[in-house]
Structure 1
Amino acid sequence: MTAPYRAGPDHAEEVSATSVGELIGNISNDLSQLFRQEVELAKVEMKQEATKAGKAAGFLGVAAFAGYLATVLLSFALVFALGNVMDLGWAALIVAVIWGIAGAVLFANGRKKLKTVDPVPHRTVDTLKEDAQWLKNPTG
C-alpha cells in the first residue's frame, strides 16, 4: 500500500517517485484483495442462507408429515362414516378408489408440467456468449 495522501510540496515528489509498475502492482494487489474479500463475504452469506433454508426445509418436512397423518386419519374417519351405511370393506374400497383417482389426476398433471421444463438456462447461455464475444473484441 502507498502512503496516505498528503497535500503539500513533498507530495508531488512522492508521487513522481512512484513508478507506473508500482502503481499497477498496487492496483493489482488491491483488486486481488478486494476479490478475496468479496468471495469470503459470499461464502459467509451462502452459509447463512443455507442454514435458514435448512431450517425452513425442516419445518416444511414436519408440516408435510403432519398433513400426511391428517390425511390418513381423515381417510379412516371417512371409511368408518361410510361403514355406518355399508360394510366396512366396501367403505374402505370406495375411499381407496377416491385416493387412486386423485393420485392419477395429480400424476398426469405433474407429468404434463414436467414435460414443459427446459433444463437449459437460455438467458445465462446467451449472456455468456455475449461476454465471450466482448472478450474477443472489446472495442466492437
Structure 2
Amino acid sequence: MAEIMSERTRPMPRPDAPSGNGLGLGSVSGLFRSLADDITRLFTQEVQLAKAEVSVAVRDLKAGVLSLAIGLGVLLAGVGFLLLSAVYALSLVVQPWLAALIVGGVVSLVGIVLLLKAKKSLDPKAMVPERTIESLRRDQEMVKRSVA
C-alpha cells in the first residue's frame, strides 16, 4: 500500500517544461502519450488499491466469522447447562426421566416453530422485490408511451 501512495505523490511533469522542440511545449502526440500513460498508471493504482482494500476486508471478515463461531459455541454450551438445570429443577417435582422428557419436548417444539418460521422467510416468493418490479413495469410503460 505504501508503494501505491508513493506513486500517487510523485510529482507530475509540468506541461510547460522544455521538450526539445525549442518552443517550450511538448508535442501534441507527446502530450497524448503522456496522458495515456498517466491514465494507465492511475487505473493500475486504483486496481491495486481496490485489491488491498478487499484483502483487508476479507481478513476482517474472517476474524469476525471466527469470533461469531466461538461465541455461538459458548452460547450453545450455556444453553445446554440451563436446560440441564431445568431438568434438575423439574425432577424435584416429577420423576427424573419425565422431567427430561418434558424439557426436551418443550425445547423441540420451540425449535420446530423457529425452523418453520425461518423456512417461510426464506421462501423464494418472499424474496421477490415486488416494489422494484412494479417500478420497472411503470418505467417500461412510460418509455413505450413516450416513444410511440
The TM tier, using the shorter chain, reads 0.7 to 0.9
TM-score where L is the length of structure 2: 0.69
Alpha-carbon distance, 1:6 to partner: 4.2
Aligned to 1:137: none
Structure 1 unaligned runs (5+)? 127-140
Q: Distance in 2 between matches of 1:89 and 1:52?
A: 47
- What pairs with 1:129-140 in structure 2 (closer than 5 Å)? none
Alpha-carbon distance, 1:117 to partner: 2.5
Alignment of 1:74 with 2:86, yes or no, is no
After TM superposition, what 4+ stretches of structure 1 lie above 6 angstroms from structure 2? none
Alpha-carbon distance, 1:95 to partner: 0.8
Judging changes above 3 Å, is the alpha-carbon distance between structure 1 residues 27 and 7 closer, same or farther for their aligned structure 2 residues?
closer
Aligned to 2:36: 28
Alignment of 1:117 with 2:127, yes or no, is yes
Structure 2 unaligned runs (5+)? 1-11, 137-148
* Secondary structure in structure 1 of the residue aligned to 2:127: coil
TM-score where L is the length of structure 1: 0.72
Which deviations, in whole Å up to 9, do the C-alpha atoms of 1:71-101 show, x marking residues without a partner? 1111111011100111111111111111111
Aligned to 1:99: 107
Please point out which of 5, 9, 14 is paired with 1:4.
14
Please point out which of 88, 100, 105 is paired with 2:96.
88
* Number of residue-to-residue matches in the alignment: 118
Bigger RCO of structures 1 and 2 (CA < 8 A, at least 6 apart): 2
Say what the alpha-carbon RMSD is for the aligned residues: 2.9
